[in-house]
A and B are shown apart, each in its own frame.
Chain A
Amino acid sequence: MAINFKKKNNSEEPVELNEAGNEAAGTRGMSQGQIIRRRFFQHKPAVAGLVFMILFTIFVYSASGIHLGTSDNPFSIQGWWPYTITTVSDFSACGSGCPSAAHPFGQDSIGRDYFALVTRGAEISLMVMVVIGGLGGLIGTVIGAVSGFFGGIIDAVMMRITDFVITIPSILIGAVIGYRVGNLGVLPLAVFLGIFAWTGLTRLVRGEFLSLREREFVDAARVAGASNSRIIFKHILPNSVGVIIVSVTLLLSGSILTETGLSYIGFGVQDPDVSLGLLINKYQDSFNFAPWLFWWPGVIIIAIALSINFIGDGLRDAFDPRQRRRIKKKDFLTTSAK
């Protein structure tokens, strides 16, 4: 009869830990950040996503080069790929521009190299995503945190501003900016969209802060001499990281759509420049006669979205110390049949 049973968390004796490596760490103190980093790198899909994103970004930017500035005043560094998005070349052997040795991704309907178009599109989509997600995430977290933590008048004023921003559709913002200042190119547009993309996150973060600031560990930190900003960023924020990551992940995927929509009505990315969303939009009808025009941007969007989701998952698990492997039905059945 096994009497080794020890219900976790309740016995006064040392609790056996099933997470490998913790005991080996010995008495060396580790900060919150170090433990989170270690847990993140133990999460295999997240690391795979991160590695993919880094390699993919380097690959895309080096292939297509860096292109900034407006159409009148461009700033470009050419990449290693011989074709640009404006070079029109003869169709390869199969006539309709199917993938060949010279054009591995094929050619579009007027003979432009599709690899050049896709890498350029990915470059632009990545930039839009990072700028909108980063700006939206940053502003949303800070405003939500401040408003939820301090409450009272600060909260009321900030929430009314948030309400006001929520009522303005982002398409309208893009259109007005496009109309008033002309087409500035993708980067300024992404910045403007980012400035208006924080509202949903703010609400969620504020709610988390409202409930977390009543917990005793906040009082304990205050007694220990922590300042408000330390309590906000060091104590409460890590506890609301789950909400922030889920929301920012959604924001990132959503920003691809926003950018595509704006480009479609004539603001944002304009010909001859491309983005992944624009490419898919343009070639959705060519599925039957030139499927590569549809598949390449589609696969790349899916790969980006998946990696971001995996990274988000890994971050959330790393921040949440309670996260454990879930019981699978399969394991349950095999062991119960002893």
Chain B
Amino acid sequence: MTKSEAILKVENFNVEFWVEGVWYPAAIDMNFEVAAGEVLAIVGESGSGKSTTAMGLMGLLAPNARSSGSVTVKGVEMLNQPASTLMKFRGKEVAYIFQEPMTALNPVYTIGNQIVEVLRSHFDMGPEVARERAIELLTLVEIPNPAKSFDKYPHQLSGGQRQRAMIAQALACDPALLIADEPTTALDVTVQAEILDLMRNLKDKLNSAVLLITHDMGVVADLSDRILVMKDGLTVEENTSAVIFSKPSHPYTKALLSSVPKLGSVAVRKLQPEAAKAQPVIEVSDLVIEYPKRGRIPAFRAVDGISFSIQPGEILGLVGESGSGKTTVGRAAIGLLPVHEGSIKILGNEIAGASMKDLRQIRKYTGIVFQDPASSLNPRMPIGESIGEPLFLAREARGEELNKRVEDLLDSVELPRSYRNRYPHELSGGQKQRVGIARALALSPKLLIADEPTSALDVSVQARFLELLQELQDSLKFACLFITHDIGVVDILAHRIAVMQNGKLVEIGPRDQILSNPKELYTKALLAAVPVPDPAEQKKRREARAKLLASVK
């Protein structure tokens, strides 16, 4: 690959944001090139300026931003050009794949319609021809039954299919440059693996240049040729994939690499023997949960006859793809959803059919950490009050004592005490999730339910968060039901792992047995989908996974 082939060329690129009277740099002195058929990955935590860079390249920044330097696509200057010039390039030469397909696709148009729109605005094309081409594109991205999917609305497709539709839309005009902004962050591990496979195939077929933006080193290992690591707007390190993974030179790159959970890298955590004999903290037997029928939509059985129990001090990882019913189990265990059949016993107290008064009593032994920290904290309540609320309502502490307990809780999750008067939006995602834990632990529960607490977090933040949770668990000895779609996460924490699929329990057993010697095919597939931050190793795993999937078919 010679320099002349470079599709995208970025020189001395700077982006600054105007915040409260001061210009804050978000991307500083960026220099890079992407050639045709090459994948350049920009890696960094949230806030490192990687998305800003990607958006800035095409002039899609917020009005309080300014950019300088030079960005050329196929030799044409893009930066600070009038909208009419950019319009010819956007969609046609440069295409975007956004992070969240549900919000990036217009919910009131069919996906076919949206692809046709791109086609017809860039080419002189009749509706029939455009439709044919759109179906061809949908076939290319391997959407099941493309002709039928053409007329489907975004909400009728699964997350993975939506992302495929968006890729089809991005590819509509054979773009020379494809910018993928965290294309798999919102997806399950198994779906992520599929989308990565697809992108790798397409890149070879179309010979486009790809700029991949992500925080996940595992994803990068799977796909990229070269890597650029960003921190606080600065380029920390740039090199080929192989070098970055084998000999990272910058400490930040090393830290980023080490924060990716690696399967089987941690020694199994021992459970105290006496705990095994004690009364289980939670005992679930033959649990069935149905969402009642609504109008013509029949009742949906989300959880279908599952049984498990957790001993005091034990962490059970509940793993499954989205839609497998794992979150439903967690919410039922704390009485937020009615139990249809079967029973859930918390320390011997039955939850199924319990009255509000009984539930209030049972909830004193349980705490829950919700999936989305942005939604689970009241935006109009200072976090100190959120944390203190369970104590206040349980009449455990009032006034000065409550004050003291809230401070202790903030200390235990390693947040500064001065944060107590802040509102949730003034905290980062990781900090908000710590507040969530502090609130869940306020009443020193015997059982903590953690519902995908790390799915909204960066990998490096996630690593720190899991460490904290582990420390807390070691000192407080609560039992924990840890719900996640990422087997890599439970690997660090769990004593035992349960795998769910379509509302049924597929497999349950000690961590080592599930990870090293899974019995069920589904568990194997789930394990194979976890990306590993090592290109050579990942290549092997990918091939093994392909073989495994082929054998199923």
Chain A residues in the interface with B (C-beta under 8 A):
1-3, 5-12, 14-15, 17-18, 22-23, 25-32, 35, 215-217, 219-226, 230, 235, 238-239, 241, 319-322, 324-325, 327, 331-332, 335-336, 338
Contacts and interface: CB of A to CB of B under 8 A. Distances in A.
A320 B424 CA distance: 12
Given A6-B47, A12-B464, A35 B18 contact: no
Given A32-B385, A223-B368, A217 B232 contact: no
26 contacts: A2-B25, A3-B28, A5-B232, A9-B425, A9-B426, A15-B426, A25-B418, A26-B418, A29-B403, A30-B420, A30-B421, A32-B381, A216-B376, A217-B378, A219-B331, A219-B336, A220-B368, A220-B376, A220-B377, A220-B436, A222-B336, A223-B366, A225-B360, A336-B18, A336-B66, A338-B23
Given A225-B364, A239-B378, A319-B380, A3 B45 contact: no
A35 B460 CA distance: 33
Interface stretch (B216-224, B387-395, B506-514): B387-395
| Chain B CB within 10 Å, residue with most, of A2, A5, A32 | A5
B418 A332 contact: no
A336 B380 CA distance: 34
Nearest to A17: B426
Given A5-B233, A6-B232, A31 B439 contact: no
Interface string B396-417: 0000001100110000000011
A213 B29 CA distance: 46
Contacts of A32: 380-382, 385
B408 to A, nearest CB: 11
Interface of B: 18, 20-26, 28-29, 45-47, 49, 64, 66, 232-234, 331, 334, 336, 360, 363-364, 366-368, 370-372, 375-382, 384-386, 388-390, 393-394, 402-403, 406-407, 416-418, 420-423, 425-431, 436, 439, 442, 460-461, 464
Contact of B389 (A1, A12, A221, A238): A221
Contacts of A239: 378-380
A324 B20 CA distance: 9
Contacts of A327: 18, 64
Contacts of B233: 3, 5
Contacts of B384: 29-30
B415 to A, nearest CB: 9
B47 A224 contact: no
Given A223-B368, A327-B18, A27 B422 contact: no
Contacts of A26: 417-418
Contacts of A215: 375
Contacts of A30: 382, 384, 420-421
Given A5-B233, A220-B439, A238-B380, 13 more contacts: A3-B25, A6-B232, A12-B461, A22-B421, A29-B385, A29-B406, A29-B421, A220-B436, A225-B394, A230-B393, A239-B379, A239-B380, A322-B425
B372 A29 contact: no
A261 B66 CA distance: 54
Given A9-B427, A321-B423, A14 B378 contact: no
B512 to A, nearest CB: 31
Contacts of B428: 9-12, 15
Contacts of A219: 331, 336, 370, 376
A23 to B, nearest CB: 6
Contact of A5 (B20, B26, B379, B422): B26
A332 B21 CA distance: 7
Given A30-B384, A221-B389, A332 B420 contact: no
Q: Chain B interface mostly helix, strand, loop or mixed?
A: mixed
A217 B375 contact: yes
A26 to B, nearest CB: 6
Nearest to A31: B385
Nearest to A24: B418
A230 B381 CA distance: 13
B22 to A, nearest CB: 8
| Chain A CB within 10 Å, residue with most, of B47, B336, B367 | B47
| Chain B CB within 10 Å, residue with most, of A3, A23, A320, A325 | A3
Nearest to B377: A217
| Chain B CB within 10 Å, residue with most, of A6, A223, A324, A335 | A223
A319 B64 CA distance: 26
Nearest to B234: A3
In the A-B complex, list the 6 residue pairs whose CB atoms are closest, starting with the nearest.
Answer: A10-B47, A321-B423, A7-B47, A216-B376, A224-B390, A27-B417
A29 B461 CA distance: 27
B431 A225 contact: no
| Chain B CB within 10 Å, residue with most, of A12, A31, A239 | A12
B53 to A, nearest CB: 13
A321 B363 CA distance: 30
A17 B422 contact: yes
A321 B370 CA distance: 22
A335 B423 contact: no
A327 B64 CA distance: 8
A220 to B, nearest CB: 5
Contacts of B420: 27, 29-30
A145 to B, nearest CB: 15
A223 B64 contact: no
A5 B24 contact: yes
Contacts of A35: 382, 421
Nearest to B375: A216
| Chain A CB within 10 Å, residue with most, of B336, B378, B386, B389 | B378
B427 A15 contact: yes
Nearest to A18: B20
Contacts of A332: 18, 64
B26 A7 contact: yes
Nearest to A22: B421
